[in-house]
Structure 1
């Protein structure tokens, strides 16, 4: 009887060990939210300058139950690294937090993820690591896959779809000053002038991206720190002669899996975005929302999951991107070749194509007050089809120009019957400092 009882206990322990081993949660390294008590102390890891990972101190204030459906958030007070002055910093999203348990061991509780706008105290919310490790990382659906079956009587008007695509008010994660909200992943833009950014802001807003006007360091191949808990982690959207990218912090690395942010980027589920390392140029303290200015490092893998509790990816080959090559002949007669690479994301790609063309046109100077612009562009899509655009405009609003160029990309990407993404774009733009136009003064019918 004793032997059978012992065998039963061993079998039970073996099953429990197998269950734990079947998940990424390691109770010797990770802490569950049910273990958290007010007053517990610990530290967080993040980069405040360059690539050096540094500690800051934290103390637990309380646990907010059911902040998200069936999900809790740990409320902490921070100190050190000038956080008493800056408060929660956009770009710290994902910074791993460790708490000391009853045995005196420091274990990871989760990721720095939430804050209050206009807050006077350095209080932040933590996304528990036990939720983040549930991100499954299924591969994203192929870009050319057909959309879900639609009613045969349902219609889709391409003109209506593209005309209203840049309109609307996407939710602003930092808008509610009275509520605890996910920290924005700062979208840094480099290689584009401040006036051009101002004109492009409605385009970025319509894509659900929060622009931080601090500039950015662009790409730097010399920046090659490892992606590890506390390091800078970046999602490059546009690279080359202009750059657009979101930066945050890596929370955990387990094998080839990487977990970051502690909140969604766009909450799209399965995604396919490049994953890169990076460095911090500076931290800008602001009453509205402090943020990090960062530089893109080397691409090291792919983000494949974007959900409420965070984003996740894998080390390895990055996803294919769309090359954009534009040659501009300026009003001065000088010629400049611009090269970009854009992520092949259905919602971002039209916007990124527009930014690239706008950056090329205004790369040397704004358009003359009176001007004529001729553009010849070739857009190649995944299905092998090529759209040729050849037009001449005078005294045109550059924003209207880039929107008209983005419309074919959007129409193909938003096609509900079969999504087709842009594979590459190339062309020439010629700018003249004179207005070549004509008016029809009269028309006579026989």
Structure 2
């Protein structure tokens, strides 16, 4: 039905699942049409909603996409709810015409499903330019950013399986800001769904353009014309308008899926939800049937509790007006292997796949990492975590994880590191990331392993070109005895006579100096330089030495050229090279690193003299 035919007072019904896989009906009455909502030519049909479950629970999370019919014609999808604590259920319907436009977006804008390990990631937001100590949040809009506070998308229940309650609690606020409601759930094996199937609750089947489906409680009303069922297997043939459907973000040993309702189907094409899901645009995640265990009435927001059933296809597009899926298609995700061991438990490996999208992949990986640590160890308290692993990129060198975190905030520090690296990989302006696989190795202990730099001793305060200088770094471990670490530094023959500054410090201290002195060191100019910076980033379990002198120089395309003669500087720092040449006032003489068993803090500044 065209939206121009919709008038106040019209009555109809909607289809959704409240229990098991049985499609039930609820009643709707048109209140009016809100024109130009959110943007020009985008309308929302305001409806009163009533019937079993709805009278008690209101508009329920998980009803997103429930098809609404008037006079036997499909009007659109129930997708929005009005008010925080409404006295009676009022919903917003996305017109079916708006949802059918998604097909045009799929065909004309971007190849659907391209944000997989062999394609461009979906998502919004600009690229990151700097590789400092990153603390990058997800980019893009949230569903709560859509419009007036009284009108919001119906929340999507996010079903967790294999996750510790502490993990869900840790990320709950972030998920709710994105319009997702974390709920306990599960996954069931493919095949029949417990408590009956759609075939049992729906009399008849879609049988050609003139066929009808009689739905429990729907009387003699019929669906709009539909084509015959897809030949993609029993699970796919049961996925019809009103069926519960899930989009799976994590699958394997850990599972995470958002559940809504199918609005429309034509052969193997599916439209659902009626509003944005993750705001990613192009998408490639598994599409699964779902069964509803029960409905939890709640004044702050009722929700369906569901389980994810067999995979029937892929969700390929996440649009303002809903999601688009293809039955029979196979989703392409990032395979992750996560190993964990500690002093008590033997090593255990978890295998799962995560979706690839800017702003989402880092969050999902962090949830899995946090869950592994919390489920196998203490929820809070002192902890030391050693991190290893690598990101395998197609046609580029691997990006390596090798760091250590300790103390009360070790888990959040680990999350920031993994989140920062993945965000830079996915959201950069140089390369299209094609992540082939991700491996993360975690060793955890219930002890604090930190140390402070107390002093630094030099074998001589006067050095000459070509000398090998002995340096001793004195560390004080947390509640431990003082210990010493030695490093030998070779003084280059090109060093100039005069004073030399020496900084011995933690990763944070030395990086802070670099950011103040030469911030351009962390600004990549191409893909190889980006990966080089990521692989050379400083880590918490090392002591760094940096020896430098004052001296004019410059950076060209991310490469330092210290100690340039004035004549060369004058040519390079001219109008012709403006923008590509950055002057610097520091010449690095030598750098050295010591790996320790501790997370190191502190710094020491010294001054030596070079004689020639």
Q: Distance in 2 between matches of 1:265 and 1:66?
A: 21
Within-5 A mapping of 1:26-37: 31-37=1-7
Distance between the aligned counterparts of 2:96 and 2:70, measured in 1? 12
Please, which of 376, 387, 392 is the counterpart of residue 399 of structure 2? Answer: 387
Question: How has the CA–CA distance of structure 1 residues 163 and 432 changed in structure 2, closer, same or farther, with 3 Å as cutoff?
Answer: closer
Q: 2:411 aligns with which of 374, 398, 401?
A: 398
Residue 88 of structure 1 deviates from its aligned partner by 0.8
Distance 2:375 2:147 in 1: 32
The 5 A counterparts of 1:256-335 are: 256-335=268-347
Q: Is contact 2:405–2:413 with CA below 8 Å preserved after alignment?
A: no
Q: Which moved more, 1:380-389 or 1:136-145?
A: 136-145
Q: CA–CA distance in 2 between the matches of 1:155 and 1:236?
A: 28
TM-score scaled by structure 2? Answer: 0.61
CA distance in 1, matches of 2:190, 2:37: 40
Q: Quick one: which of 39, 43, 46 aligns to 2:16?
A: 46
Residues 137 and 359, structure 2, Cα contact 8 Å, conserved in 1: no
Pairwise CA RMSD: 2.8
Distance 1:183 1:39 in 2: 23
Tell whether the 8 Å contact from 1:187 to 1:209 is kept in structure 2 after alignment: no
* Residues 183/173 of structure 1: CA separation in 2 closer, same or farther (3 Å cut): farther
Larger radius of gyration: 2
- Superposed CA offset, 1:376-408 (max 9, x none): 212212335212222333325212212212322
1:115 counterpart residue number? 81
Asked if 1:126 is matched to 2:99, the reply is no
Classify the secondary structure of the residue corresponding to 1:81: coil
Counterpart for residue 186 of structure 1: 157
2:29 matches 1:55: no
CA contact 2:77–2:93 (8 Å) conserved in 1: yes
The more displaced of 328-337 and 254-263 is: 328-337
Change over 3 Å in CA distance of 1:83–1:337 after alignment to 2? same
The residue that corresponds to 1:76 in the other structure is: 47
Distance 1:184 1:392 in 2: 38
The 1:175/1:242 distance shift into structure 2, 3 A limit, reads farther
Distance (whole Å) between structure 2 residues aligned to residue 365 and residue 197 of structure 1: 16
Q: Deviations over 1:186-221 (max 9, x none)?
A: 23333323332333346546xx63342432224543
Task: State the match for 1:339 in structure 2.
Answer: 351
Residue 156 of structure 1 corresponds to 129
Alpha-carbon distance in structure 2 between the residues aligned to 1:163 and 1:415: 15
For residue 178 of structure 2, the aligned residue among 193, 199, 209 is 209
Contact kept in structure 2, 1:199 and 1:399, CA below 8 Å:
no
TM-score using structure 1 length = 0.81
Alpha-carbon spacing, 1:321–1:397, altered in 2? closer, same or farther (3 Å):
same
Query: How far apart are residue 292 of structure 1 and its match?
Result: 1.5
Instruction: Say which SS state the counterpart of residue 156 (structure 2) adopts.
Output: coil
Name the CA distance, whole Å, in 1 between partners of 2:75 and 2:454.
74
2:366 to 351, 354, 359: 354
CA distance in 2 between counterparts of 1:201 and 1:430 reads 26
5+ long unaligned stretches in structure 2: 122-126, 194-234, 462-612
Taking the aligned partners of 1:65 and 1:399, their CA distance within structure 2 comes to: 45
SS of 2:185's partner is coil
Tell me by how many angstroms 1:253 deviates.
0.3
Count of residues in Structure 1 that have an aligned counterpart in Structure 2: 401
Q: Which runs of 5+ in 1 are unaligned?
A: 1-30, 101-105, 148-153
